[in-house]
Structure 1
Amino acid sequence: GSADIMVRSFDKRIESLFLITDQRMRQQAINVLVYNLKDNQNAYEMQENSNYVKVIPAENETPFNIQKAFYEVSEAEVMEAKLF
């Protein structure tokens, strides 16, 4: 669902809300959100003037790349499933 009710929110897309009852699926959805917030390698933040600024990690902050993290999680799940 949209955080706001504005014409731009309904013009060219469809949004839906649904309850995630399966605990494993719920945790995966939460992880996706957390990973997006942690990304300090590929992320941009929108400013008040609608311009985007690249996120620069703090000096003592561990680099986190969401694409690499998702790849590693997927790779681990494939190995765990013993598909190959």
Structure 2
Amino acid sequence: MNLKALDVVFKTKRVMALLRKITNRATVMFSFRYKYIDMSVNSLSLVMMIISYAVIIYKVRESGQAMAKYQLTIRTRVSLSDV
């Protein structure tokens, strides 16, 4: 290898090391900032999921109660018509 080629290799390594440092520093800053945004979005999703499941469970329970009431009404009508 000639001297120019070695000089290019060393400059490239220095530039790459500098870019690596800048990238790592930027990644730490961005990851620190976006970590809280990510946590808040995940928390919001979790709260929405809990509320949705609560509404679904409430509707299913309400539907079951309405069905039981309807069946009771049908039974009383059938038993009254038998008399």
Indicate the TM-score class for this superposition, using the shorter chain for normalisation.
under 0.3
Q: Larger RCO: Structure 1 or Structure 2 (Cα < 8 Å, ≥ 6 residues apart)?
A: 1
Please give the TM-score of this superposition, normalised by the length of structure 1.
0.28
Please give the TM-score of this superposition, normalised by the length of structure 2.
0.28
More helix by share: 2
The higher radius of gyration belongs to: 2
